[in-house]
Amino acid sequence: MSHTELMGRLAANTQVGYSFDQEFYTSDAVFKADFDEIISQKWLLAGHVSRIPEKGDYFLYRVGNEQIIVIRENSESVRAFFNVCRHRGSTICQSESGNAPRLVCPYHAWTFGLDGRLISARLMPEDFDKAENSLFACHIRVFHGLIFINMSEGEPDDFDATFGDMGAILDYHGFADARIAHAGSYPTTANWKLVIENFFECYHCVPSHPEFCSMHASESIVAVGAGPSSGPADAIASFTPKLQAWEASAVAAGRPIGNIDDAPESSHLRLLMQRMNKGGWSSETQDGSAPAPLMGKRTKADGGRMHLSFSPFSQIVADDHFAILFQFTPRGALETDVEMIWLVDGRATEDQVDIEKMIWGYHATTTQDKVITENNQAGIMSSRYRPGRYSDQEGSVLKFQKWYLNQFGLARAE
């Protein structure tokens, strides 16, 4: 059965306002369709340039069955290659990260340059052409220090046209010159759509996330806990004047203000929302105090935070003093890598950054989300699972699911 036939059959059985049928979250065939039509076609946030500062520094970015070598060619260039030797297909890099002056396959010692060109291959026939056996390149773009890859075999969506309008806020936060302060891994035994749906709603925040809720005003959680269109209309209307008042003060402090709330018909379902912290709190920490120096171009704190989504797979949450990169990377029908990278200003010294204070809230929340989502997946595996009705606080999930079906040119049955 083709992807079109499979997804068309499933979409015809879905209903607006309800969660997806079981097969969307469990089927290997659906995951294959997801990978071919969505995951491999999107610009995915692979990491930050501070992870590979020196020539030959590399790390592996794993997505589905693919391994992408992200490597620094020189001070001006970062490259990405599929981790597949052009001889008989062995992986070249086995370590998750390291430094390689050249990429040497450990199987038969074929050697490639940092630009992917085949340099040497022993005892090959006279008619063998090294120029035709370079490593398969992966589309890559470094944008304000953030490394994005795209596995499309053809031309991907134009990066600048897709994300260029996010440049001003990334520049203000100082992402290009930031450094990694901490990284956390939360591998989750659940379908990637469940991981993202959980991230896209805050209906579960009050019963499930005491640390998160302690850092945020209750009205903010209800109205915009998972984005500008995630809450009930009356809660959003009540919260909007307070948000607008903070935006005016933030502009006066130098922060670029602007919102992005892409429609389900968009290519990447981008989002940018900026809002104020809980009253009197400087940062999203246990006691509201700052865990690190101001980040980026700020001259003073404005008590705000940013939620930026490049796509459902790649998110940022940023305070005045630190930022977190969220990577939701599909690995299989029932496996998703959840990675978090905490960034601080590149000028901040180690003794100026309180790691425990900085990670307290979102480490606890993501650890809880891992359990929540794995329990959700386990229940969906049951013969008694049936699609459930969404609440008024799950608007962003509805938008995500419309976007997901749009990637296949499909819509829910009305």
pLDDT at 218 over 80: no
- In the structure, what pLDDT confidence band is assigned to residue 229 with cuts at 50, 70 and 90? low
Domain layout of the chain by residue ranges: 44-156, 166-407
Q: Minimum mean pLDDT among 137-141, 251-255, 409-413: which range?
A: 409-413
Residues 179-197 have a mean pLDDT of 98
Q: Supply 273's token pair.
A: 């929302």
Work out the average pLDDT over 388-393.
Answer: 92
- Direct distance between the N- and C-terminal alpha carbons of the chain, in angstroms, rounded to an integer: 25
**Mean pLDDT, range 24-33, rounded to an integer:** 98
Q: Residue 227 above 70 pLDDT? A: no
What average pLDDT does range 393-411 have in this prediction?
Answer: 93
Tokens of 216: 């945020």
Query: Residue 297 — very low, low, confident or very high, per pLDDT cuts 50/70/90?
Result: very high
Which of 400, 328, 387, 257 has its CA nearest to residue 46?
328
Say if residue 374 is exposed, middle or buried (CB neighbours under 10 Å; 0-12, 13-18, 19+): middle
- Over range 212-225, report the average pLDDT: 78
Domain topology for 44-156:
Rieske Iron-sulfur Protein (2.102.10)
Q: pLDDT-based confidence at 230, cuts 50/70/90?
A: low
Q: Which of 294 and 245 is assigned the larger pLDDT?
A: 294
Instruction: Give the pLDDT of residue 261.
Output: 93
Sign of the CA dihedral with 76 first, then 80, 84, and 90 last: positive
In this model, does residue 239 exceed pLDDT 90? no
The residue with greater pLDDT, 212 or 139, is 139
- SS in 3 state form for 135-192? CCECEEEEECCEEEEECCCCCCCCHHHHHHHHHHHHHHHCHHHCEEEEEEECCECCCH
Lowest model confidence (mean pLDDT) among 81-95, 213-227, 251-265, 326-340: 213-227
> What is the Cα–Cα distance from 323 to 45, expressed in whole angstroms?
14
CA distance 41 to 379: 30
CB 286 within 8 A of CB 214: yes
For 3-16, write each residue's pLDDT tens digit.
989 999 999 989 99
pTM for this prediction? 0.95
**Distance, CA of 313 to CA of 403 (rounded, Å):** 13
pLDDT at 350 over 60: yes
Q: Could you say which DSSP state residue 390 is in?
A: -
What is the topology classification, in CATH, of domain 166-407? Naphthalene 1,2-dioxygenase Alpha Subunit; Chain A, domain 1 (3.90.380)
Residues in the chain: 414
Crossing angle of helices 395-406 and 192-199, rounded to 10°: 140
Tokens of 261: 């709330």
3-state secondary structure of 28: helix
Please check whether the two domains, 44-156 and 166-407, share a CATH topology: no
Question: How many Cα atoms are found within 13 Å in the side-chain-facing hemisphere of 387?
Answer: 16
If we measure between CA atoms, which residue out of 203, 194, 198, 264 comes closest to residue 22? 194
pLDDT for the residue numbered 233: 79
Helix (H) or strand (E) holding 360: helix 355-380
Encoded amino acid at 405, one letter: L
Q: State residue 386's pLDDT score.
A: 97
- 87-101, 126-140, 221-235, 372-386: least confidently modelled range: 221-235
AA identity, residue 115? D
Residue 314 binned pLDDT confidence (cut-offs 50, 70, 90): very high
Mean pLDDT of 373-385: 98
Structure-block tokens of residue 199: 């991230």
Q: Could you give the strand order of the β-sheet that contains 323-332, starting from the edge strand earlier in sequence?
A: 179-185, 335-344, 323-332, 314-318, 304-311, 271-276, 260-261
Structure tokens at 388: 């459930």
Q: What pLDDT, in 10s, does the model give residues 246-272?
A: 888 889 889 999 889 999 999 999 999
